[in-house]
Amino acid sequence: MSLSAKPLRLSTTQPDFEAQFTARLHWSAEQDDAIEQRVKDILADVRTRGDAAVLEYTARFDGLAAASMAELELTAAELKAAFDSLPAEQRGALQQAAARIRRYHEWQKTQGGETATYRDEDGTLLGQKVTPLDRVGIYVPGGKAAYPSSVLMNAIPAHVAGVGEIIMVVPTPKGEKNPLVLAAAHVAGVSRAFTLGGAQAIGALAYGTQTVPKVDKITGPGNAYVASAKKHVFGTVGIDMIAGPSEILVLADGSTPPEWVAMDLFSQAEHDELAQSILLCPDAAYIDAVQREIDRLLPTLPRAEIIAKSLNGRGALIHTRSMEEACDISNRIAPEHLEVSSRDPHQWEPLLRHAGAIFLGAYTSESLGDYCAGPNHVLPTSGTARFSGPLSVYDFQKRTSLIEVSEAGAQQLGRIASVLAHGEGLQAHARAAEMRLR
Amino acid sequence: MSLSAKPLRLSTTQPDFEAQFTARLHWSAEQDDAIEQRVKDILADVRTRGDAAVLEYTARFDGLAAASMAELELTAAELKAAFDSLPAEQRGALQQAAARIRRYHEWQKTQGGETATYRDEDGTLLGQKVTPLDRVGIYVPGGKAAYPSSVLMNAIPAHVAGVGEIIMVVPTPKGEKNPLVLAAAHVAGVSRAFTLGGAQAIGALAYGTQTVPKVDKITGPGNAYVASAKKHVFGTVGIDMIAGPSEILVLADGSTPPEWVAMDLFSQAEHDELAQSILLCPDAAYIDAVQREIDRLLPTLPRAEIIAKSLNGRGALIHTRSMEEACDISNRIAPEHLEVSSRDPHQWEPLLRHAGAIFLGAYTSESLGDYCAGPNHVLPTSGTARFSGPLSVYDFQKRTSLIEVSEAGAQQLGRIASVLAHGEGLQAHARAAEMRLR
């Protein structure tokens, strides 16, 4: 079979651009009611019956029959053995990536991730105390999309934040374990790990079972069942975000070798048929060159079939009037990954308001960020970069306001509070303030 | 009718303490399936029919018949007129409270709320860009619990963050407008305001209608319909948190006048029959004294009936073995408001891990924090302080990772990324990194 990948070719000057562009972007995160009902039932069952329910669903959905939960726990020794069994090159790469990710998140912690206070002129102390969460759960997908890098990207920020206990769950369909995932858990400092997946794993973490400890927050991507379950338990525990298909947007001025851009588009498309790769460029000849590289390179890739489906179904090569217009369109998309493949990326960066991560300059391929540049690769998808950001050390901490009003301060503040409390009809609030007046 | 308020009296030494304590804390945030279904229907209808649906639901649920959406918009002139019509004392109190809240959130913005980057030894630039949201929606409850202070606490952090447009919605049942709420919107710099409430208001903000602009995030408390609607639209837009009944926990060493503590317990209980007020104290005689003040002061308060129901149904006075034990119990509760009513609050503060806000020392009544100390009064309830914190300037910003890998950096990082990408079976990722190798 000869494959071909022809992303939709658009120009912002064509009369139906808006309609075509909107249709291509469309992706619906709508919940499937049937999935939602099944997830609710599974969660309720896990909440009521605990381990027994978890064991049953694991046997049914993962084809993994275990007599007890103990069989589903991965010991620290097993994680270490997985690490030790890897080729030296992989061990080194995991450790180097972990070191860079750790260093970035340690820096991030210094940017607002630490307790700070000040005193005003009345001697009143105000500020925020920052403390790590006690215990978090990390969901790691199993099967065909088992990514050790996701273990690092979830567990290391939790570790840097100072989380007391990091519980990893990873489904192992038919008992098949991914040694790189286990090794990454060892490198990243996971406290306990269970071979559990799906809504039953989310339920076990959110409510706790006889064996799985209840956590305070659950992070990590998963399939539609996992996403629905996370949304359902939100409030009982914290969650990070609901992930949609992955996306890359390349903003190119034509100065980068077109084969680099073609491969960067592929690297997103190879994730998943629903993944979205878009090129924005003011140079039509360059777009042609990228398409030629797509044609040339596609057959050389093992995942060519997925890439072709993704690019044909959701990809786009968009000719813009200018780089400025390309930046405007990028802001409308609010992409997860945004490459600025330009000789002068700092000219365009200030114009880019909404993105999960911005990769500046030709050498910054998204894949370097995915694995080891340091910043987190868990990023907002489907336009949610309009209101949210990367997974971070802050996701594994929480803030508590600190207020210490001096006697002098209470005289000032008490009068204001009293007036406003009476205005709201809350007299006990007012009296509590008035009692502190001299 | 003679009212009495007897919070449950417990001692940590009594044999059934755990059972009694757990039962008293119990509050279920479980969704009501009937409410959920109605909310889903309303949201779907608002999404499809826009203004027409919003007008219908507003007529039906708020008894407010309007011929067009224009009638439901509060103009800037109307907000200003409401402010101008207030007594000077209220105008002054609103402005002073706003100034203090603004100042605190401006300080907060300097704690991680600004773009920052660094370069590593290879010249690779890493960091995070912080930008405000474009447009947010603020839900302000109407009717009996219409709080102008909540307008300040939601709108000012958004304003300080630099949000482009702040859209307020507030239900006005039967058209009754609260002048203090309108005045607060004027003081806080709300961009547009609509007299809308319930799930229909959340739907209008999340999806946009012909008249109401679509926002990026919705914050603010509301009833069960509003909470359910916010949870439902989460993902389409950002939301702040799902609020449960309000709570105060007072940790007392017996050094504060007992009438102050009694009034502080009242000030939470007067909100709502489901509100929870708890005292933890190692001094049994002091607890007796607080109960005597409760008995003495209760009849003097206009909201005595609500206070009595709240304290009788959900309140507790708990005698602990020590202040240390009181701190442990406080951490289990993770209260929204935590008063450390002690001569030496800084002795205990380091032991307190989970709380929305900590009020240190006898002069720091919760009510001062509610109105004008400066930090936000929108705080995590129902134990969610285990994983979340106060509403903040950060809720109205988002972060974007910045990565610029130098040519030298790409040589280092490319090798690591290539090994890991091959390990994950993502060859296009590997090739994209390898192409950048010299």
Rounded mean pLDDT of B172-186?
Answer: 95
Chain A residue nearest residue B113, CA to CA? A112
Instruction: Give B8-29+244-373's CATH code, choosing from 3.40.630.30, 3.40.50.1980, 3.30.365.10, 3.20.20.70.
Output: 3.40.50.1980
Ordered strands of the B397-404 beta sheet: A8-11, A316-319, A276-281, A247-252, A337-341, A357-360, B397-404, B125-132, B116-119
Instruction: Please give the interface size between A and B, counted as residue pairs whose CB atoms are below 8 Å apart.
Output: 394
Residue B178, marked binder: no
Helix runs in B110-256, H state only: 148-161, 179-188, 198-207, 224-233
* Average pLDDT value over all residues in chain A: 96
Which sign does the torsion angle of CA B59, B65, B68, B71 carry?
A: negative
Helix ranges, B317-397 (H): 323-333, 345-348, 366-371
- CA distances, A136 to each of A114, A158, A187, B422 (Å): 19, 8, 17, 29
CB A233 within 8 A of CB A43: yes
* Closest by Cα among B290, B291, B308, B286 to B299: B308
* pLDDT tens digits, A399-432: 999 999 999 999 999 999 999 999 999 999 999 9
Tokens of A362: 């030709």
Distance, CA of A394 to CA of A344 (rounded, Å): 32
* Residue A217 to residue B406, Cβ atoms within 8 A: no
pLDDT at B1 over 60: no
Q: Please tell me the distance in Å from A59's CA to the nearest CA on chain B.
A: 26
Contact A390, A379 (CB under 8 A): yes
Residues B27 and B81: their CA atoms lie apart, in Å, by 42
Contact B216 A389 (CB under 8 A): no
Does B200 show up as a binding residue in the annotation? yes
User: Distance, in angstroms, between B7 CA and closest chain A CA?
Assistant: 17
B259: nearest Cα among A406, A420, A414, A434 = A434
Q: How far apart are alpha carbons B163 and A404 in whole angstroms?
A: 30
Of A131, A380, A428, the CB nearest to B353: A131
Nearest to B386 among A116, A216, A302 (CB): A216
Whether the per-residue pLDDT at A1 is higher than 60: the answer is no
Residue-range domain boundaries for chain B? 8-29+244-373, 33-239, 405-435
Can you tell me the mean pLDDT for B105-128? 96
User: Which CATH topology does A33-239 take?
Assistant: Rossmann fold (3.40.50)
Predicted local confidence at residue B144, as pLDDT: 66
The pair of three-digit structure tokens given for residue A318, joined into one six-digit string: 């968009």
Q: Chain B contacts of A142, Cβ < 8 Å?
A: none
Which residue's structure tokens are 């997985």? A82
CA dist list (Å): B169 to B36, B139, B212, B366: 21, 5, 10, 27
Which of A337, A339, A366, A377 is flagged as catalytic?
A337
**Which residue among the candidates B293, B336, B339, B366 is catalytic per the annotation?**
B336
Which element (helix H / strand E) includes B106?
Answer: helix B88-109
Tokens of A392: 């971070």
Element (H, E) at A118: strand A116-119
Q: What is the pLDDT of residues B388-421, one digit of tens each?
A: 999 999 999 999 999 999 999 999 999 999 999 9
What integer best gives the mean pLDDT of chain B? Answer: 96
Could you tell me the two tokens for B331? 């951490």
Residue B238: list chain A partners with CB under 8 A.
Answer: 384, 387-388
Q: Distance (Å) from the C-alpha of residue B81 to the closest C-alpha of chain A?
A: 17
Question: Catalytic annotation on B336?
Answer: yes
**What token pair was written down for A393?**
């050390």
- Judging contacts by C-beta atoms under 8 Å, the chain B residues touching residue A180 are 423-424
- B221: which 2 tokens? 């408390």
Min distance B173 CA to chain A CA atoms (Å): 17
ipTM over 0.85: yes
| Contact across the interface for A390 and B403, Cβ inside 8 Å | no
Which pLDDT band, with edges at 50, 70 and 90, does B242 fall under? confident
Q: Would you place residue B30 in the very low, low, confident or very high pLDDT band (cuts 50, 70, 90)?
A: low
Per-residue pLDDT of B413-432, as tens digits, reads 999 999 999 999 999 999 99
Q: How far apart are CA A74 and CA A154, in angstroms?
A: 18
> What's the Cα-to-Cα distance from B14 to each of B17, B21, B279, B331, rounded to whole Å?
5, 11, 17, 20
> Is A424 annotated as ligand-binding?
yes
Query: Which residues, 6+ apart, have CB-to-CB distance to A23 below 8 Å?
Result: none
- Is B36 noted as a catalytic residue in this protein? no
Residue A411 in contact with residue A434, Cβ under 8 Å?
A: no
pLDDT at A12: 98
